Structure 1
Amino acid sequence: MRIVIVRHGQSVANAQGRWQGQLDYELSREGEIQAEKLKQRFIREKFAPDLIYASPLKRALRTAEITFPEKKVFTIDDLKEGGAGVFEGKTMDELRVEYPEAVATFERTRTFNTVPESESRYDLRKRAKTAVDFFIKGHNHDDEMAVFTHSGTMMFIIAVIMGTSRVWSLRIPNTSVFDFRIDPNSWDAVDPIGGMRQGARSFEIRRFADATHLHLQHGP
């Protein structure tokens, strides 16, 4: 089984330096160009997935539609970005004025645990676990799929696939590609956080935060 996970293209909020969370921003013009470059990359690589899934948020869904214009894209709510609470829609400069204590704690810990109204780490991992479980258990063993989601959610999806409770703070450029080959027979439905561990005992990482296509010239 092959699961290719992609971060959405640059959004309007990305361009403005604003936290998005679950606010529904459109792609910027640059984001559309990034998605087109991703499309050309997959054409060159002859990657034609059997199924395409995306977060219903516009920035992820539109990236999927540009990348695979002739294929149906199925949306999954569990692929939405983690809720960033009062950070959503704000720049860091604005937040330092409005929520200085929350910002100071966040910059020290890099977690949203103390950000008012944010989604908990446990709930975000639970969503990631549900999504990965569906991808692996709900499909044929030789299926190939593309999954378009968000950087925060991706970090938890990666942790679930790798069967670890540790979540790394990764730099994930827009339209980055993570390419996993997974043996579904090795899937272990046990989660380390909730008392049941989840992970693939046999998997291969072919691409990890690969955005080399962004350096190619776009257009004639």
Structure 2
Amino acid sequence: MLTPPRLVLVRHGQSTYNAQARLQGQADPPLSQTGRADAEALRPFLPRFEQVVTSDLQRASETAALLGYPDAPRDERWREIFVGEWSGRSLAELPTGTEAAWRGGPLRAPDGESWAQFEARVGGAVDELVAAGGDWLVICHGGVVRAALSYVTGVNPRMVAGPANTSVTVLRPPFLERYAWTPAL
């Protein structure tokens, strides 16, 4: 019997925008000093992977490098949800009253990506890795982790808390093995 492919999703380390409570989406801020230290601290807890892919945004590719994969292929489908004109704004400035698209709700910037569009993009990337087989390490973003989880298991994304920076989620489609694990450092 063949073992189903395993996808190990690592959310990037804390970025400078995370540290400032600013919405990122597909903006491209670097990791903060804390984010770099946390990625280096996670490295010994992960096995080596033969198959690795990372979002093409620098906070993810920098995390990949710190985890020992400086040449990991970059794939824009693993980018965070596109929040359009809201990118870079303080979270406190955003409209209230309706759940935002990056949490699985309907609210989005006029030029932003809907949750359905986002989940379809991430789902296509998930399907490609599953079809390729084997274990994969994917360095990506919090929204991407939630979208992949929702796509694979059918869970309502509004019922899932966002994973912490530098956390590990393990999917073995159609199942979740571990969500948002972090080492106790």
Q: Does 1:83 align with 2:73?
A: no
* Structure possessing the higher radius of gyration over alpha carbons: 1
Long gaps (5+) in structure 2: none
| Residue matched to 1:134 | 128
TM-score normalised over the length of structure 1 = 0.74
Q: Does 1:104 align with 2:96?
A: yes
Q: State the 1:114 CA deviation.
A: 4.1
Is the contact between residue 113 and residue 121 of structure 1 (CA under 8 Å) also seen in structure 2?
no
Percent of counterpart pairs with the same letter? 29
Is the contact between residue 99 and residue 107 of structure 2 (CA under 8 Å) also seen in structure 1?
no
Q: Structure 2 vs 1, CA of residues 165 and 209 (structure 1 numbering), >3 Å: closer, same or farther?
A: closer
Q: Does 1:19 align with 2:23?
A: yes
| Residue matched to 2:167 | 176
Structure number with the bigger relative contact order (C-alpha 8 A, sep ≥ 6) is 2
Is the contact between residue 99 and residue 106 of structure 2 (CA under 8 Å) also seen in structure 1?
no
Distance 1:80 1:133 in 2: 16
TM-score normalised over the length of structure 2 = 0.87
Q: Does 1:61 align with 2:61?
A: yes
Q: State the 1:3 CA deviation.
A: 1.1
Is the contact between residue 106 and residue 115 of structure 1 (CA under 8 Å) also seen in structure 2?
no
Long gaps (5+) in structure 1: 97-102, 183-199
Distance 1:85 1:66 in 2: 29
- Secondary structure, in 3 states, of the residue corresponding to 1:180? strand
Is the contact between residue 171 and residue 177 of structure 2 (CA under 8 Å) also seen in structure 1?
yes
Q: Does 1:156 align with 2:147?
A: yes
Cα deviation per residue 1:34-54 (whole Å; 9 max; x = unaligned)? 100110212xxxx11121111
Q: Does 1:122 align with 2:116?
A: yes
Which runs of 4 or more aligned residues in structure 1 lie more than 3 Å from their structure 2 counterparts after TM superposition?
Answer: 105-110
| Residue matched to 1:48 | 48
Q: Structure 2 vs 1, CA of residues 126 and 107 (structure 1 numbering), >3 Å: closer, same or farther?
A: closer
Distance 1:116 1:178 in 2: 31
Distance 1:60 1:125 in 2: 19
CA RMSD of superposed structures (Å): 2.0
Is the contact between residue 16 and residue 31 of structure 2 (CA under 8 Å) also seen in structure 1?
yes
Is the contact between residue 178 and residue 209 of structure 1 (CA under 8 Å) also seen in structure 2?
yes
- Secondary structure, in 3 states, of the residue corresponding to 1:86? helix
Distance 2:135 2:99 in 1: 38
Is the contact between residue 18 and residue 90 of structure 1 (CA under 8 Å) also seen in structure 2?
yes
